[in-house]
Structure 1
């Protein structure tokens, strides 16, 4: 073999070796980002008082969606930086403390590297519904169990959403209640929201619960109207003078969505005011009817009946 052939063989072996090492490095880095960045974190929400009058807060959890920002001037990779610490716990603690300290060369929060890549998002993968007995009665609270990287959906579609009811009891049941994709391509002021609903039955020790499920989604404003059909009996006079009873269908409508305002943080960190330890629940009661139309007809008893149907909704002060 001549010198040129030997050189080519050496370069080929060197290329394969470097490619293999780099591939393992990228694989380990992505695995580290998946485990260290896309994970469940505690998120306590105050939900009321129990039967003794004591305040009740539930850790509903949240999914951390970004890795910590790395210094632009640092030439060290993720593995070299991690090797400085004796354990993963020490590394995470140092990252947490570094994130609280302002740094001139550190990346801004908006410039942090997404933990799951540009085409994925850190979303809940396991949810359960806990029943908490409060002073005013039992209350159901959705709790995030685990998080994972999920592919981002650009269209507004219905997505699966599994909920575990009566967790760790003989009546434990998993229901696909459904949800709507978090569409990023929607116009300003519009969101992908449920517009058609269904139901599922869940057996309990005392009765059978009816669980509302999402069947279809569409792009709507934050406060929006959805169809809601009701049926009535109507007496109609025919041309020959005979009265006929017919079934009358009226879409009375419903207002859904939220119009939240104000600060929901109840307890902030003394050392860092931007960190909130306890959040109040998001209010969903300020979306109401804006306009309506009246439907008048003769009921079975010969009396005039008027039904008001919602035609539009808006955020009420």
Structure 2
């Protein structure tokens, strides 16, 4: 049976209306997806001169957490210096002046300035590789960002994974989780989330075995802090019956880690919350050195009295 013409027209209108509304939602989702541009971008760093004396720069990369500005027309991006410009220098100057000129606000430009990740996320490297570069003063290791992704912000001080690729694109390529500490934003002023326990991993190479230090635990500490560092010694113990016993003695001699800065580095605090600092000063760093110590005495294998000092606390010293 044929459908009446008025009913057919009504069905067509309803179909077009639903299609238009649905396409608006799909386009909105697509625009949001296009804004998510947590990507690796090139960032070259000068590291020195090679053995021939030539300068060496490495693209260590960077993770960009915001989308760019407004998109310019394609013909302007590939524009060449026209005949009215006498030289390439004049063309660049005129182009720079056009860039400095104020442009009218655009909705797309405001959208593109939004963070590429969510409010509870941050754009961070998802993997890094360690490149070994032979410079004039000797070999140097440079960490290079491979890719970036949106990572959930961590408010607690915990150990977080940190993958490093050693000897990339060689038969000895190895991926190791060296670990790291979360960048806790809720910590009190003067405290940081820092590594306190370490371990080691082995990497085979054509010439030898490299020892890579890894982080196993993190704690909230002041800028200058003490970490355990265990050393072993042979100790001879004289018993009452005249028998001598040789055993292993473990001493935590400690190490001082962290950086120091002289004076109060905060120049501008929030009027509503004094704990929040809006402007920090760049001050000269000082050393983190031992403050207190204790002694451990014992008889060594040769029957001589030996004394080992261990660090009990650390402080900043200019």
User: 1:86-132: CA deviations, max 9, x gaps?
Assistant: 38978xxxxxx89x8597999xxxxx632212111010112100001
- Name 1:48's counterpart in structure 2: 48
Report how far residue 195 of structure 1 moved.
Answer: 1.4
- Name 1:289's counterpart in structure 2: 290
Report how far residue 188 of structure 1 moved.
Answer: 1.5
Q: Of 29, 34, 37, which residue of structure 1 is paired with 2:36?
A: 34
Number of equivalences: 261
Report how far residue 203 of structure 1 moved.
Answer: 1.2
Report how far residue 31 of structure 1 moved.
Answer: 2.0
Report how far residue 85 of structure 1 moved.
Answer: 3.0
Report how far residue 157 of structure 1 moved.
Answer: 1.6
User: Does the Cα contact within 8 Å between 1:34 and 1:149 map onto a contact in 2?
Assistant: no
5 Å-filtered alignment, 1:124-139, equals 124-139=125-140
Report how far residue 66 of structure 1 moved.
Answer: 3.0
- Name 1:148's counterpart in structure 2: 149
Report how far residue 21 of structure 1 moved.
Answer: 4.2
SS of corresponding position for 1:24: helix
User: Does the Cα contact within 8 Å between 1:68 and 1:113 map onto a contact in 2?
Assistant: no
5 Å-filtered alignment, 1:215-254, equals 215-240=216-241, 242-254=243-255
Report how far residue 231 of structure 1 moved.
Answer: 1.5
Compare CA radii of gyration and give the structure with the larger one. 2
- Name 2:301's counterpart in structure 1: 300
Report how far residue 237 of structure 1 moved.
Answer: 3.7
- Name 2:177's counterpart in structure 1: 176
SS of corresponding position for 1:27: helix
- Name 1:57's counterpart in structure 2: 57
Measured on the aligned residues, the alpha-carbon RMSD in Å equals 3.5
SS of corresponding position for 1:154: coil
SS of corresponding position for 2:309: strand
Alpha-carbon distance in 2 for matches of 1:88, 1:221: 52
Report how far residue 141 of structure 1 moved.
Answer: 0.9
Query: How high is the TM-score relative to the length of structure 1?
Result: 0.70
After TM superposition, the runs of 4+ consecutive aligned structure 1 residues lying more than 6 A away are 13-16, 87-90, 102-106
User: Does the Cα contact within 8 Å between 1:257 and 1:284 map onto a contact in 2?
Assistant: no
Alpha-carbon distance in 2 for matches of 1:311, 1:88: 65
5 Å-filtered alignment, 1:100-111, equals 101=100
User: Does the Cα contact within 8 Å between 1:177 and 1:214 map onto a contact in 2?
Assistant: yes
Query: How high is the TM-score relative to the length of structure 2?
Result: 0.69
Report how far residue 14 of structure 1 moved.
Answer: 6.2
User: Does the Cα contact within 8 Å between 2:286 and 2:316 map onto a contact in 1?
Assistant: no
SS of corresponding position for 1:215: strand
Report how far residue 15 of structure 1 moved.
Answer: 8.3
